[in-house]
Amino acid sequence: MDDRYLEPFIGYRLRADVFAANGTHLLSAGTRLERGHVRLLQVNQVVLRSKDVTAFSAEQEVSIKEAVSDIRHVFQSAVSGRKLPVDYVHDRILPKVLEMASRHAQLIDLLHLLQGKDEYTYKHTFAVGIISSIIGRWLGVRGQDLIRLTMAASVHDIGKSGIPSEVLLKPGRLTEAEFDLMKRHTRQGYELLLASGLDERTALVALQHHEREDGTGYPKGLQADQIHFFSKIVAVADVFHAMTSNRVYKSAMPFYDVLSLMWEGKLGAFHSHILHVFIKQIMELHIGKSVVLNDGVPGKIIYVSSSAPLKPLVNRQGEIVDLSREQQITIREWL
Ligand SMILES: [Fe+2]
């Protein structure tokens, strides 16, 4: 392994204690990695992965947990009162989503924190709010529009508050009848948001986030221009987070595999410009990160092109490899 592969981890905090192969305790959970720590890990040939570290402080992790619990409160209030506690969402949840969205460089790290299958619906809601807000900014959405998009994304699945938990949390595949019931969360969310005094544009995201460009989505089978721009953004964020998370019925997939499936159109027809910007930007966040290629040789991402964002240039131990040209070389693992 390249001696420098651990360098990108400097400044990150360890999530758990680290041990050498012989069982010796090397570093404690919570340690913020400095050069000396990295050297210690290298000497002991410890392999770190991005999921082993976090860019967030302990306080920030607490605030993320609080946001998830605030969202649980919103869902429960929606069930009992049949209305969204709008002020609560505005005052407690929206600022946290916007704050997290401003840390977009740590997006993948944040996804690790919001991945667990317990409380999935609430974590997912928080993550989709954050990711949609980030995509919005990447697309040039600003000011009040960005706040509106973030608000809409943060309540996009509120209609699930009315779906029975046997269906919502069913570990296996849904029957057709159950899936029909699940699909109702779009209309129910729309109605609930309008009844709570939110504007049509916000409510439309709840209604349309499962619509697809080619008319294969639900509930109405709308196509392209019939779908609001904000709904198209939330559609991308929704599928990306769902696929990269552990859910009751499916394990998480690595982010790169999900991006590849989305790029190939295998996860539905998304708005091509939104998808392209999303993939390119996510890949650019990985410049400088270490990977292992399919020949087992480690490398570092050095450039992401616009035409083939999922096939970056990789520095393979001093040799520059263009994955868009060398089709037989692929990325096997992200460290
Ligand atoms: Fe949904």
Q: Give residue 147 CA to ligand 1 midpoint distance, Å.
A: 20
**Domain residues of the chain, as ranges?**
7-54, 58-282, 287-334
Buried b / exposed e along 301-334 (16+ C-beta atoms within 10 A): beebeeeebbbbbbbbeeeebebeeeeebebeeb
Which residue type, as a one-letter code, is found at position 102?
S
Residue 3 pLDDT greater than 60, yes or no: no
Mean pLDDT throughout 38-52?
A: 87
Q: Give residue 209 CA to ligand 1 midpoint distance, Å.
A: 6
Q: Give residue 75 CA to ligand 1 midpoint distance, Å.
A: 14
CA 77 to chain centre: 26
Q: Give residue 6 CA to ligand 1 midpoint distance, Å.
A: 38
Q: Give residue 120 CA to ligand 1 midpoint distance, Å.
A: 12
Q: Give residue 254 CA to ligand 1 midpoint distance, Å.
A: 21
- Percent of the chain residues topping a pLDDT of 90: 69
Residue 329 pLDDT greater than 60, yes or no: yes
Report strand pairing: 25-27 vs 290-293: unpaired
- Into which CATH architecture does domain 58-282 fall? Orthogonal Bundle (1.10)
Residue 2 pLDDT greater than 60, yes or no: no
Q: Give residue 135 CA to ligand 1 midpoint distance, Å.
A: 18
Q: Give residue 186 CA to ligand 1 midpoint distance, Å.
A: 7
Hunting for tokens 């999922």 — which residue is that?
310
Mean pLDDT throughout 177-188?
A: 95
CATH code of the region 7-54: 3.90.105
Residue 1 pLDDT greater than 60, yes or no: no
Mean pLDDT throughout 120-135?
A: 94
Q: Do domains 7-54 and 58-282 have the same CATH topology?
A: no
Surface-to-core class of residue 223, CB atoms within 10 Å of its CB (0-12 exposed, 13-18 middle, 19+ buried): middle
| DSSP character at residue 267 | T
CA 233 to chain centre: 13
Q: Give residue 17 CA to ligand 1 midpoint distance, Å.
A: 37
Q: Give residue 160 CA to ligand 1 midpoint distance, Å.
A: 8
Q: Give residue 273 CA to ligand 1 midpoint distance, Å.
A: 22
Measured over the CA atoms of residue 222, residue 225, residue 228 and residue 232, the dihedral's sign is positive
Q: Give residue 182 CA to ligand 1 midpoint distance, Å.
A: 9
